[in-house]
Amino acid sequence: MRLVIVPLLCLLCASRAIAQTEAEAAVLPRVIDMLCVDMIEARNGCETFVLLTSESEPDTADLIIFSDRRAQAPQEILGIARNIAFNGPWFGQAPSLSLADDGSVQVLEEQIAIGRSPWTQSLTIDFIDGMFIVSERGHSTYDRATGGGFNCDVDFMTGAWAISADRPDPGSGETVYDVSDSGTIPPAPIALSDWTWTSPLPVPCADALDAWWAVAP
């Protein structure tokens, strides 16, 4: 009998140890990624960037930025961006956070799970003139059916953009479309709170992407 009771008691103890509070059960499953970055010079400690599944749109993710509770009390919410990133139900559709070499934070998106044209995207977030902004955007895709790829990078701070795109002939493999272009548009950094994952590509990127698809077999 003891051999039966002891394992049962151990199971009960383990269950109590891993039990969640209602608040934890409501929030923790939504957390996708987090990053602590010392971005605001006027504040001590690091700002915590938390990417979590949206409550209203499960296929998107929200970004919330907190102050460092160890450096300043009470802890503050410094920024919120609703539906900032695509957050699909399949592997290969999850967003993430990354630290850029210059100390900026990047929100990385992908939809490489299904479809003819999988894509990836990066948003660069900076803190400038007292606010969080989207300062850069990179968008890439490729054609699973025939090969070839497309990439466009835009710096919203300077307005500089650069495009590269190519397509091979499906039969011979010879490159039949090869474009590399760059230019500038009016600088227009975007407030982080105004960004959503459906924000349209800048005109040079959108036009070049249409042209790339127009020559697809």
Q: How far apart are alpha carbons 103 and 81 in whole angstroms?
A: 19
Count of the separate structural domains present in the chain: 1
In 3-state terms, what secondary structure has residue 171?
coil
pLDDT at residue 73, as a whole number: 74
- Establish if 22 belongs to a structural domain: no
pLDDT at residue 18, as a whole number: 66
- Helices and strands (H and E) in the chain: how many: 3, 12
pLDDT at residue 151, as a whole number: 99
pLDDT along the chain (217 residues), means of 10: 42 55 84 95 91 93 93 87 97 97 96 97 97 98 96 98 96 92 97 96 97 93
Q: Provide the edge-to-edge strand list for the sheet that holds 77-86.
A: 31-37, 47-53, 60-66, 77-86
Cα 181 off chain centre by: 26
pLDDT at residue 69, as a whole number: 84
Q: How far apart are alpha carbons 37 and 50 in whole angstroms?
A: 11
- Establish if 169 belongs to a structural domain: yes
Q: What is the 3-state secondary structure (H, E, C) of 98-143?
A: EECCCCCEEEEEEECCCCCCCEEEEEEEEEECCEEEEEEEEEEEEC
Look up residue 21 and give its DSSP letter: P
pLDDT at residue 1, as a whole number: 38
- Establish if 149 belongs to a structural domain: yes
pLDDT at residue 26, as a whole number: 78
- Establish if 5 belongs to a structural domain: no
- Establish if 132 belongs to a structural domain: yes
- Establish if 9 belongs to a structural domain: no
- Establish if 145 belongs to a structural domain: yes
Domain range for 55 is 29-214
- Establish if 170 belongs to a structural domain: yes
